[in-house]
Amino acid sequence: MKSIITSVILLFTLISFGQNESDEAQIEATLNNYIDGFYQGDTTKLKAALKPRLYKFGYLRDKETGEFKYYQHLSYENALKLAQTLKDQGRTRTETQMRSVKVLEISNHIAAAKVTAAWGLDYVLLSKDDGKWLIEEVIWEGPFEEKYKEEIKTTTYYLIRHAEKDQSDKSNRDPHLTDEGKKRAESWAQTFKDVKFDMVYSTNYNRTKETATPTAEAQSVDITYYDPRNMNMEEFMKQTAGKTVLIVGHSNTTPMFTNALLGEKKYESMSEDNNSGLYMVTHSKDSKTSSLLNVD
């Protein structure tokens, strides 16, 4: 089963795995490309998110009267021009606090979602053509208000096992990755290229550190080392609340960690030949959800 994740939330590179997980991941990818298209002035990402027949309009609160006034329709062409202008004027941003995507509902061919960004709130309608989820219409309300940060409570964890390790010396308890493993580590970085990680965790072993490093370096995130045998899960979840986190572990600790995040024993240890499993866990105000994908 082919699968490439690009974000819960996370992820526009087209994916071919289970229907529900695939559609939701693709939609989240599209929404994140939409945000970053404007945040980074990246017209390539906008083109990957928007349909050419885009219809976007909104309502902006007047600072003096407090009344909401209609704000003009933004076409596909003008959206690209706006992104380019923001880039040309140096008004780009890397934003993790004023950004959130939430898939509200997915049907066969259409979907609805909510985006929180620096300009305010967007309600988004998408449709699927040729396997791609793209944005058809947007209605928005602005400007951004501090209270919106209270709504951005979703925490997303991505958990993977280390890549293929050198097993030539059975007595070596801390082997490095093989060439195949190094390629997989680089592949994970590519898989996660559109996921905005706030934190990257790894156990303090060569094979896990070498698996985490390409992704951490690509996103300029320091690696935090953890001991799965000595984890205060309550404290960990407080520290990572509202964040997007990558956790690199082992065949036994990765599903164990996933179970701890869920508060239930859902997953068994991974087989020794499985280096491609990706566990995704989301925490929101009202629920905890998970999925297990195979990324080759």
Residue 13: inside a domain? no
pLDDT tens per residue across span 124-179: 999 999 889 999 999 999 998 877 765 656 799 999 999 999 999 989 999 999 99
Cα separation, 27 vs 107, in Å, equals 12
* pLDDT tens across the length of the chain (296 residues): 333 344 333 333 323 233 344 788 789 889 989 998 999 899 999 999 999 999 999 999 998 899 999 988 999 999 999 999 999 999 988 666 677 888 899 999 999 999 999 899 999 999 999 889 999 999 999 998 877 765 656 799 999 999 999 999 989 999 999 999 999 999 999 999 888 899 999 999 999 999 999 999 999 999 999 999 999 998 898 889 888 999 999 999 999 999 999 999 999 999 999 999 999 998 876 678 888 988 87
pTM: 0.55
Number of structural domains in the chain? 2
Quick one: how far is CA 132 from the chain centroid? Answer: 17
Q: Are 112 and 31 members of one domain?
A: yes
Q: Which residues pair with 68 in a beta bridge?
A: 61
Residue 4: inside a domain? no
Spatial contact of 247 and 193, defined as CB atoms under 8 Å apart: no
The residue to which tokens 């958990």 are assigned: 159
Q: Are 181 and 141 members of one domain?
A: no
Residue 1: inside a domain? no
Boundaries of domain holding 242? 155-294
Q: Are 58 and 103 members of one domain?
A: yes
